[in-house]
Amino acid sequence: MDLAYIPSPSTGVINLGPIPLRGYAFCIIIGVFVAVWYGNKRWIARGGTAGTVADIAVWAVPFGLVGGRLYHVITDYQLYFSEGENWVDAFKIWEGGLGIWGAIALGAVGAWIGCRRRGIPLPAYADAIAPGIAFAQAIGRWGNWFNQELYGRPTDLPWALKITESANREAGLYHPTFLYESLWCVGVAFLVIWADRRFKLGHGRAFALYVAAYCVGRAWIEYMRVDEAHHILGLRLNVWTAIGVFVLAVVYMVVSARVRPGREEIVEPKAAKEAVAVDKAAPKADGEDGDTDTDAEAVTDSRADSGKAADASDTAGTSGDPEASDGDVAHDADKGAGSAAKS
């Protein structure tokens, strides 16, 4: 008798009043909301303006969903294109099936487009949104719980996941790999937050840390899963992908730290244009006042120079008058002496 286990939901649909919503889609929606909300807080704290993260997410999220679905369909094509399968099911994203690697890759393309439209460097945006993405993944993994999919090997641990029987699965108790990855993603988010505060990560290094840390957990959890997957040299394809992406992320962190140490200053074009407009307006007013002051000073200086010239003339005249007066006195004295002599 099983004393403890994690039950699976009886249905994968959540009824919001008259509106039925699949639990998988609901988890994705909540995850996106949390990622944008928290990313916006971090963006503002780094010097950005409110709303920028949401504007770029309008591009990143659809691209990410398409990329995630493409990766899943390509790597698990037998589920949709084998004999007896319906290829139309490849478009039913609400039924589950998203590859995180494709979501990150194509989502980055969408984010790049959004960043270019806003004139913002992609690495700075990625650093701000990184912990939010990890939180979103933690929430999104519960969609696998609703769908009773991507569980691990059989186990009798107290936290085993009870799976009910269906056409494509056997009933039993299994490792709740969805829960393991959800908790791991929460840990990754807090790791990035701590490291970012401690080391002032910039130029994409916070995002690279998130990717590297996630890859470690994903490789471990992927090893526990029992769902069908392609194998290369005895390892699941996603394990090799995690190893390769981990190496790239670590190399990027090391090279980036040497080439661009520290954290970049975020200056959005919109805010920058407003600042430039203010700066231009202030010097213009000062320049006009300065010209007026300059004209006034010029007039004052001109008047002062005229006064100085007049003073100089007066001074010159005054200095010449004593000599002239002395000459006149001497001349008068001579005339007086002459008159006296004549007398």
Evaluate whether 8 touches 145 at the Cβ level (below 8 Å).
Answer: yes
Query: Within 10 Å of residue 112's Cβ, how many Cβ atoms?
Result: 17
Q: Is 248 exposed, middle or buried (0-12, 13-18, 19+ CB in 10 A)?
A: middle
Beta strands in 130-242 (DSSP E): 161-163, 172-174, 231-232, 235-236
Q: Report how far residue 174's alpha carbon sits from residue 156's, in angstroms, rounded to the nearest whole number.
A: 8
DSSP 8-state secondary structure symbol assigned to residue 12: S
pLDDT of residue 314: 44
Residue located via tokens 């994690």 = 6
Q: Report how far residue 332's alpha carbon sits from residue 311's, in angstroms, rounded to the nearest whole number.
A: 31
Q: Report how far residue 252's alpha carbon sits from residue 205's, in angstroms, rounded to the nearest whole number.
A: 8
pLDDT of residue 257: 96
Evaluate whether 19 touches 33 at the Cβ level (below 8 Å).
Answer: no
DSSP 8-state secondary structure symbol assigned to residue 166: B
> What are 211-241's pLDDT values in tens digits?
999 999 999 999 899 888 888 998 999 999 9
pLDDT of residue 98: 87
pLDDT of residue 282: 65
Residues of the chain with pLDDT under 50: 1, 285, 288-300, 302-304, 306-343
Q: Which tokens hold the place of 58?
A: 């309008």
pTM: 0.76
pLDDT of residue 195: 98
Whole-number Cα distances in Å, 32 to 146, 149, 162, 275: 18, 21, 28, 32
